[in-house]
Amino acid sequence: MSNSKYTLIFLFFAISFQAISQEAKFKLYGEKVNEVVRLAWIPEYWPANMDGVIIKKRTEKSAWELVTPAMVVPSSYVGNDLSNIESSKEERLRLNNKLDSMISAGKAKEVPQSEYFEKILQESASLSGIAFIFDLDYDLILLTGFGCVDRGIDS
C-alpha cells in the first residue's frame, strides 16, 4: 500500500455466532496494486468458536464501511461463491476456473468448510503451511478464504 495518498485503516474482526471467549491473533497484510488493495491474513491459531472474518475499512475522514459484504469463511471447493472476497465477476470466474484446473491436475484438493475447520483446528502445522502458500500465489490466498480484494478505493 505504499505510494498511496490515502491512509487506509483496516479493522479486522473475528466474528463468531457463539460467545467470543478467545482472542484470535492474525498477521495482516495489504498492498495496493494498480487500482485495488489486496488483503491477506494469517491466523496464529483458529479458535474453535470462530466462524470466519469480516473486514471493514475507513480513511481518516470517512466512517467505517464493509470491505467484505459477508463473512469470509475458509474453504476451498469448486463453485464456491467468491463474491465476498472479490467483487469482479470476471475475476471470480477466473479464480474458480483456476481452482478447477488445479484440482483436475492433482495440484489442489477440494476441502469444504466443515472439513477445513476440522483440519485447521487439529493441525497447527496447517496454519504454517498457509503462510508458505501465500508466498507462492495470491490467488490461492483468495481461493482458501484468507484474503480479499478491495476494489472500492478512491484514486
| Backbone phi, psi, residue 99, to 5° | -65, -45
Kindly give, in sequence order, each residue whose CB lies less than 8 Å from that of residue 41, ignoring residues fewer than 6 positions away: 12, 26, 27, 28, 29, 53, 146, 147
Q: Is the pLDDT of residue 132 over 80?
A: no
Mean pLDDT of the chain: 76
Give the amino acid at 118.
E
Q: pLDDT band at 145, cuts 50/70/90? A: confident
Per-residue pLDDT at 1: 43
Nearest residue to 37 via CA among 85, 67, 1, 5: 1
Nearest by Cα to 130 from 121, 122, 120: 120
Largest CA distance in the chain: 48
Which whole number is the average pLDDT over 91-110?
91
Q: How many CB atoms lie within 10 A of CB 14?
A: 20
Judged against a pLDDT cut of 70, whether residue 8 lies above it is answered with no
Asked whether the predicted pLDDT for residue 70 surpasses 60, the reply is yes
Taking phi first (over 0 means left), then psi (-120 to 50 degrees means alpha), and beta for anything else, what does residue 110 get? beta
pLDDT at residue 4, rounded to an integer? 39
Check residue 95 and give its pLDDT. Answer: 95
pLDDT at 109: 82
Check: CB of residue 43 under 8 Å from CB of residue 31.
no
